């Protein structure tokens, strides 16, 4: 299993695969269907080709953070789903300028040596998004590889798409996002030191900057957290926002892990958003805020203790 950050000069052992091609942010049910189509075409073996950075980040660098997964989590999830290789196709000025046929010839044929390519029904490629799935199929016939076009897929009653997942997270509906992802959305990062306000108030928190990850709706969540080096998920409650009571600052995910007192500064932490409890608000006093924190913790404990 390997990750390649290039499509040129690949070892022969990495070429000639059945390829699942797309953005694969979030790895939702639609992405999994594209990978399954590639697996079937490859008689059990397939690779995934995605773009790094995503085209949206290249064309609109001023957009708010939008990634559902960091690249490392995306790649790990793809490999865990059975892919033998991940190709991170470098999306730069050269690739943005390629025509649809140029992309197919230069990247898929000359670079990856694709034996088959599977894409979603709405896949677009080439300069100005000129190419579409049917065009890829036509080019494949001309250039010697097969193409499978996967139609729209539902995830637990909702149309599975990265856009829909982002919308659900920004609307404070992590349960809806989980239905499309096949499990809770997970933020991850390195725990950093903060202002120690939570510790002073009896609610020590592990603080994460989300960086390039999408920012969910500001507010309080029931969560599960997993500390680097541990296998189990611990229950907790988290606030994502700007802490209007203790002083505004850049958005931060602050997670209070129930019944835990260890020092985890500098460790990687994963935090699953399970349920949205309430919006972030400004309290007139710290006593009122602490009272609400106790209520939030009780609500989170009750939700997390409920099976399913």
List the catalytic residues.
254
Token pair 């700007």: residue: 242
Cα dihedral value 53, 270, 65, 167, nearest 10:
110
Q: How far apart are CA 49 and CA 38, in angstroms?
A: 11
CA 69 and chain centroid, separation: 2
Q: Both tokens of residue 15?
A: 């070429």
Q: Which residues lie below 8 Å from residue 74, measured CB to CB, with a gap of 6+?
A: 24, 25, 27, 50
Question: 54 with 63: CB under 8 angstroms?
Answer: no
Residue 303: closest CA among 227, 232, 220, 198 = 220
CA 223 and chain centroid, separation: 17
Residue 90: closest CA among 77, 71, 117 = 71
Q: Both tokens of residue 34?
A: 């594209």
What phi-psi label fits residue 282: left (phi over 0), alpha (psi between -120 and 50 degrees) or beta?
beta
Residue 29: closest CA among 166, 162, 153 = 153
Question: 119 with 22: CB under 8 angstroms?
Answer: yes
């Amino acid at each position: 299993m390997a990750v390649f950050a290039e499509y040129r000069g690949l070892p022969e052992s990495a070429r000639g695969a059945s390829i699942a091609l797309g953005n694969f942010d979030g790895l939702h049910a639609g992405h999994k269907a594209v990978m399954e189509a590639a697996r079937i075409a490859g008689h059990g073996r397939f690779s995934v080709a995605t773009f790094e950075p995503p085209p949206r980040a290249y064309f609109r660098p001023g957009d708010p953070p939008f990634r559902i997964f960091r690249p490392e989590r995306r790649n790990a999830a793809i490999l865990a789903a059975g892919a033998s290789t991940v190709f991170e196709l470098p999306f730069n000025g050269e690739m943005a300028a390629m025509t649809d046929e140029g992309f197919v010839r230069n990247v898929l044929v000359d670079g990856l040596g694709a034996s088959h390519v599977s894409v979603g029904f709405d896949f677009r490629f080439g300069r100005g998004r000129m190419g579409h799935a049917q065009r890829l199929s036509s080019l494949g016939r001309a250039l010697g590889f097969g193409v499978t076009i996967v139609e729209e897929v539902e995830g637990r009653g909702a149309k599975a798409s990265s856009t829909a997942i982002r919308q659900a997270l920004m609307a404070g509906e992590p349960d809806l996002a989980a239905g499309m992802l096949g499990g809770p959305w997970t933020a991850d990062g390195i725990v950093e030191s903060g202002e120690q306000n939570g510790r002073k108030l009896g609610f020590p928190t592990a603080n994460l900057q989300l960086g390039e990850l999408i920012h969910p709706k500001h507010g309080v969540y029931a969560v599960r957290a997993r500390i680097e080096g541990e296998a189990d998920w611990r229950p907790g409650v988290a606030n994502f926002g700007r802490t209007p009571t203790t002083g505004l600052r850049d958005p931060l995910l602050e997670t209070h892990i129930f019944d835990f007192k260890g020092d985890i500064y500098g460790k990687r932490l994963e935090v699953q958003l399970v349920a949205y409890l309430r919006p972030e608000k400004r309290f007139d006093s710290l006593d009122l805020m602490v009272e609400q924190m106790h209520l939030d913790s009780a609500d989170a404990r009750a939700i997390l203790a409920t099976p399913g």
